[in-house]
Amino acid sequence: MKLLRLALAGALAFTSVVLPAFAAEDDYLTIELKDGPVIVELLPDAAPKHVERLKELAAKGEYDNVAFHRVIEGFMAQTGDVEFGDMEDGFNPARAGTGGSQLPDLPAEFSEIPFERGTVGMARSQDPDSANSQFFIMFDEGSFLNGQYTVVGKVVSGMENVDKIKRGEGGNGEVSDPDRMVKATVGQ
């Protein structure tokens, strides 16, 4: 009887635990790579304008066939240049990484979320308010980016596929014959 009371007490204690809220279906971005899908949980509470931009561009098919133009071993893989990075429509390796979308740049939405393996952040120029369409996925921890770049999400599935993205050469990570986002869609 004592064992039953302990089991019941443990079960009741467990039911009082507050479980984390699940993200809405449209708060996921699925990126199809050559080696399989990558699912990113978007973080609209942390960066609402940037998350909305990623969803808008993905829904329009703007990220489909866009190159991972800058990939640095032990750091990150950068993509999202919809102007010069489309592998099937005007890919320009000399200009890849210098473009954005036809939409205006976004003001920074910095947060306390750390840059860790699988974190997705928005790429920008020296101007903190210059993020547009480009983003990067962290291969490893990058605390030196904390509070300086907008975090938009985290990889929740498929990081092994991110790890297979072709790396660039040299210090700047420019990739010749780069891998690409085959397709990017909102949802899982």
DSSP 143-169: GGGTTTS-EEEEEEE-HHHHTTSPPPB
The dihedral through the CA atoms of 110, 172, 139, 183 has a sign that is: positive
Q: How many CA atoms lie within 13 A of 130 on its CB side?
A: 9
pLDDT > 50? residue 143: yes
Q: Summarize the confidence of residues 82-88 as an average pLDDT.
A: 87
Is 100 inside a domain boundary? yes
As for how many domains the chain has, the answer is: 1
pLDDT band per the 50, 70, 90 thresholds, residue 89: confident
Is 164 inside a domain boundary? yes
Q: Are 29 and 183 within 8 A, CB to CB? A: no
Nearest to 75 by CA among 159, 137, 120, 128: 137
Is 4 inside a domain boundary? no
Is 14 inside a domain boundary? no
Q: Summarize the confidence of residues 94-100 as an average pLDDT.
A: 85
Between 167 and 24, name the one with better pLDDT: 167
Is 151 inside a domain boundary? yes
Domain of 106?
23-186
pLDDT at 75: 97
Is 1 inside a domain boundary? no
Tell me, what CATH number does 120's domain have?
A: 2.40.100.10
Is 162 inside a domain boundary? yes
Is 141 inside a domain boundary? yes
Average pLDDT, the chain: 88
pLDDT in tens, 28-67: 999 999 999 999 999 999 999 999 999 999 999 999 999 9
